[in-house]
Structure formats: structure tokens, C-alpha cells
Amino acid sequence: MSAEATNPEARSEARPELRRRGRTRLDLRRLGRAALLGPTSRDRLPDAIGHVAEAHRAHHPDADLSILRRAYVLAESSHRGQMRKSGEPYITHPLAVTLILAELGAETTTLTASLLHDTVEDTEVTLDQVREEFGDEVCFIVDGVTKVEKIDYGAAAEPETFRKMLVATGNDVRVMSIKLADRLHNMRTLGVMRPEKQARIAKVTRDVLIPLAERLGVQALKTELEDLVFAILHPEEYEHTRALIAAHAGERDPLPAIAESVRVVLREAGIHAEVLVRPRHFVSVHRISRKRGELRGSDFGRLLILVGENADCYGVLGELHTCFTPVVSEFKDFIAVPKFNLYQSLHTAFATSDGHVAEVIVRTRQMHRVAEAGVVALGNPYATAAATAAATAAATAAAAASGATAGSAEACADPYEERVDPTRPGWLSRLLDWQQSAPDPDTFWSVLRAELAQDREITVFRADGGAPATISLPGGASCIDAAYAQYGEAAHGCIGARVNGRLTSLTSRLSDGDTVQLLLAHDASSGPSADWLEHAHTPAARIAIGSWLKAHPDGAAATTTAAARAPLSVVGARGGGGNAVADLPDATVRLAGCCTPVPPDAVAGFVVRGGAVTVHRVQCAAVAQMRSLGRTSVAVHWRATADCRVTLLAESFGRPHLLADLTEAIAREGVEVVSATVEPPVEQRVRHSYTLQLPDATGLPALMRAMRDVPGVYDVSRA
């Protein structure tokens, strides 16, 4: 963009304050008349954009080209006298960017904004003038791709420009379409710059623009950007790959013959399909050479099969797997399960009789258009909304003409500002949410790169039935990420989760399609622990956790050192064998702590050192071990008295006052606590062990239910 614009006569004398909001208003009509002087008449397009018009009409035969003509006139007039560093007139840049988008099928509004995308940044044209001449949507898109003033932001200008651009993309994804095409043309002409500047721009392209192109599904731009970055950042590997491709060009390529065989098979099956040989781009060849080592002739390309309907895709797949030997490990169905960037296709591979392996992509022509152009192929995201609004307006006018009351609704002065792009993907919504919590440009820039490095997305379902019903997360996300995506800062009090109905820790990783129920603490003082940061993958979760820990250093220290504390124990004075009696005269009877039998459990006793008899439940593992050692059991029976002693294990999520609440619940049941042990929290979970004296063994089920009803307790069992 402006980095390559030079105008030594005008721009070297321009004061910074004139480049900002206090610009002199230009007479656009005068500029328009000046641009029209020459062989071009008012009723036809200037020759310079004839190729853009042809590409646009190929996708949109009925498009009105008059607005493109007016946009070109303004762009050419305002950029007149400016040169690129390559020596070309600057107008060649917006023309090239517009042609890239036109070939991808962009609609007229996008192309209009593309022609004007550098006017506000590099000339004296203002946003108000763009709005007056071309409307709110074109003005919004042009503003979205305009860089912030470096004089205002200094070193933070680049990250703040991307922040501004991403926020604008959330309202209209066409903003990013123009930015990607702009970067592609600049990368094509990057050779005129110093090597260090080439490397800097290539790294930003690799870390930010290429991942954005992938997420927006614009594969045609992404693949070329990858090759251009590859050539700059890895010149030796690039030259090696280019040599491999050049050597292959001189050899016999087996793919055309394989493609013809596939055409014959599909023709005989009655499937109308177009079979093409699609060469791999440089980065793809490099990746496959690293994966497979020595490359074969069929590795330099793939077969692309285009059909009319979705059902035909599976028909083609059936014929290929019937008539050739399929490579099962290479099959992927992205039609039934599309990628998060709208991509749909069937991927497979088969081996021929002469040993070649051909990789195949099967898709409809509409899928192919979306796969190549991504969001560009979706056109105007507000077209449907605009049609609905027009119909509503017409109905309102008709009602008013018939005397009906139209209501008190008033037209919004600027409805465009109130809209949110209905095609906005989930990852972009997450990005827009967390960027508000990252005011520091360096934090935003580093976290943005980390977020865009996530190349896979999963969808999980909310078990509570709330809206939205699904949560989109990056691959590898944990329950912690889901908690912050659903509850925001309220997730600080999350104490556990159920995944697919089963209780699990917050650090558990989620899989695509999981159902998640998040459990929040009732105590407002609950907060995250420092180890949550090790399991949080989304920027929203990491920023929120980091902010809380910074604001509560004492709470973080207490959580971190919890594992070093010794278990808390409370011991009573009673002991002995309760109401168990052994058939051994004068023997001391003890109830085993490992299984704590109570009436009417079936029990067995064993004589231990000192002559005492230890009583176990017959299901206890210790009984089987004793008998395997040849130990003889002693008969044990229960006295008629109903009291008994039992050890219960309570597992719960950690929270303040939990021990007091559990002890109170036990006391309400009339049960005496003989001893209690509380282990240190592990992943926000706490294990309690209680040895209790019950007045009546029949009250044990009611006691266990009362303990389970204590908030935070999720399981109570006998030891």
C-alpha cells in the first residue's frame, strides 16, 4: 500500500497535520473531468480497466459497471503523479488488486472499494467524500483497509492497523478480502525492496495473512502467498523444490493417462464429470518431499473431479474405489463434515496397476468456487438482509397508503454501523471478544499470532440448553476454554465439568461433538489457579486468568502451595471392633480400615500379629489375599446392638467452608465423627475421609445422601 507509493513533488512537502483530519476538501467533479480528457468517452469504461470489467462480467453478467468507472476515475486522478518503487505508475497497484478479486468472483461493491482502497491513505481524498460519492458500504470497507497514522501510533502502528482491520472484518468480511489481495500484489513486487524489509514483510505474511486466508477459505490467494513467502524466507529449500519441479517437467507425467482412465470409468457409469490434472504448488511439493523422500511422477499433482450435485461426488467415489485399488488411509469426507473455513470436498487416493498412486479431490462446481475463493465467493453478506429490508419498506409504504398505522419505528440514521456480518465465523467472533481485553499492542500482536497458529477447530454442545447451543473452540481446547467462552469472567468460579455426562477435571481436553456442562461455585470468592494457564488454549481464557492472578497474588500463591500442605486430620477418641464378635475366646476384635464393615455386611476375620482378629467384608481384596496365603479365617458375627462404625470417602470440588458444611450435614443425621482427613486439593478437587460412629446401621444410606447434597460434593462412597 502506501509503503510503495512515492510522489517526490507533492508528498515530500506535505505536512503531517494535512495528512490527518484537517485535509482540504477536493473538488471530485474537477478531478473527474480531468481524468476523462482524452480518447475515453463518458459512456464507456476507461481502457485501463477493461480487463477488470471482463473478469467481473464473467462471474456477474448483469453487473452495473458505471460505479467501477467512477471509482477508477477518482483513483487514477488522486494517485496521478505517484510512482511505485518498481517505477510503475501507482494506479497499477489498485488495478492489479481489483483484478485479483474480480477473477475470484467478487461482487461490484468489493471491486469499487478495492479501486479506492489506497486513496484515503495515500492521497487527499477523505472518507466523507468516498461516502458521498459511493455510499456507506464502500466507505466502511475503504476505512477498514486504511492504515492508522504512524505519527499517532509509532511502533504500534502495524498491530493497531491489524486490530482495526479485524474489527472492521467482523462487520464486513470483504475488508479482509481486499487486504489479502493487496498483500498478494505487494508480495509479487517485493523484489524491489531491501532484503531485510522483504524478510520482515514475509514473516508478517506467514504469521498473520496466510492463516487468515486459510481461515477465510481463500485458497487461491493462500497458496500463492505461501510460495512467495517460501521463496523469501527459505531460498535454498525453494531452489531445491524448483529444481525438482523442473526435472519433473522433462519427464513423462503419468497423471494425464490416469485422468483419461478415470474419464472412461465415469463415462461408462453415466456420471457427467470434468476430470482435471492439478499441479501442486511449490510449498505442497516441498511438504510431500519431506514426508515421502524420493518423489514419484504422480506426486507432483492431483486429480480434480468436478460434478454437478453432491450425490454425484459419492457416485464418483464408489466408482473409483470399485475400479481401482483405494488407499484407505487417504480417505477424508469434508462434505459430510466441512472444515471450519467452509471447505467441502471428498479426498481419496488409489493405486494403479503399474504402481502409481494418484491423489484425488472430488467436489461440485459450487464447492470448487467456494474452495478457491472462500468468503469472496459468498458475495455481499448483506444482500439477503437488504432484500428483506426492501420488502419490509414496501409493505410499510403500502400500509401507509391504505391508512394503516406504520408504528413508532424510525429509520436508523446509519444502519450500516449497527450490522454484524451474518457470515462471521466463530473464530473471528472469539478473536473480536478477546482483543478488547488486550489493550497493549504487543500483547495483542503476540496473542494474535498464537491464535492464528491454531489450524483446527472443534464444536462442542452446551448441556444446559442455553443459547447459543454450540461453542466453537480451537483444536486442543480444554474445559477451561469452554468455561471462559461461555461465561466470560464468571468462569473464574468454575469448579468442574461434566463431559458427555461424566464428571471430569477442568483440564480435560475436548473433542469435536462433545457435550459440556460446566459447574460454577456458589462462593463468589472462588478463582482460577495458576496451573490453569498450562491448559488454557484460547486467548480469551489466558488473558482473563492472567488478569485475575495479577489482581489476586495472595489467592494465586495459596492455590500454588496447596499441594505442599499436609492432610488435615481430626481424630476422635473411640476405637475397637464396634459390635462385631469373633468366635475366638478372649480375642480383641478390630474392624478393618480398608473396608470398614457394618451390619449386616457378610464378614470374615483373620488373626493378625498380637492375637487380635481383624474383620473385613468378604468382598474386600484383603480377604482374597489372606486366603491365597493359606490363612484360615475366623467366624465373626454381629451383636444384636444396631450401632456401628464406618469409613466414608467424599470427593468434592474445592471451595471455602466445605469441611464445615460436610461436618454439619453429618451432625444433622445424629452421627459421631471419630476421625476426619482432608487431602490437599488436586486440580480443584478435594478428597475427604471420615470414620463415623452410627447409632443405627440402617441410617447409612440416608447419611450418604445427605453428604452428597452438600454443594460441591459429587461422590460419596464407602472406603
Which residues are tagged catalytic? 121-122
Cβ atoms within 10 Å, residue 14: 11
Q: How far is CA 240 from CA 226, 245, 299, in A?
A: 16, 9, 16
Q: What backbone phi and psi angles, to 5 degrees, belong to 83? A: -125, 150
Q: Cell match 514419484: residue? A: 296
Q: Cell match 488488486: residue? A: 97
CB 2 within 8 Å of CB 121? yes
Q: What backbone phi and psi angles, to 5 degrees, belong to 599? A: -60, 140
Cβ atoms within 10 Å, residue 2: 15
Q: What backbone phi and psi angles, to 5 degrees, belong to 237? A: -65, -35
Query: Which of 576-595 are b and which e, b meaning 16 or more Cβ less than 10 Å from the residue's Cβ?
Result: ebbbbbbebeebebbbbeeb
Cis peptide before 61 (omega within 30 of 0): no
The DSSP 8-state label assigned to residue 209 in this structure reads I
Apex 35 CA angle, 34 and 40, nearest 5: 120
Cβ atoms within 10 Å, residue 273: 21
CA 405/CA 399 separation, integer angstroms: 7
Cell numbers at 66, concatenated: 458505471
CB 317 within 8 Å of CB 334? no
Q: What angle do helix axes 195-204 and 174-188 make, rounded to 10 degrees?
A: 150
CA 209/CA 199 separation, integer angstroms: 14
Cell numbers at 625, concatenated: 489375599
Amino acid at 49: I
Task: Concatenate the DSSP letters of all residues of 362-407 into one string.
Answer: EEEHHHHHHHHHGGGGG--TTHHHHHHHHHHHHHHHHHHHTT----
Q: Per this entry, what is the length of the chain? A: 719
Cβ atoms within 10 Å, residue 653: 24
Q: What backbone phi and psi angles, to 5 degrees, belong to 234? A: -135, 65
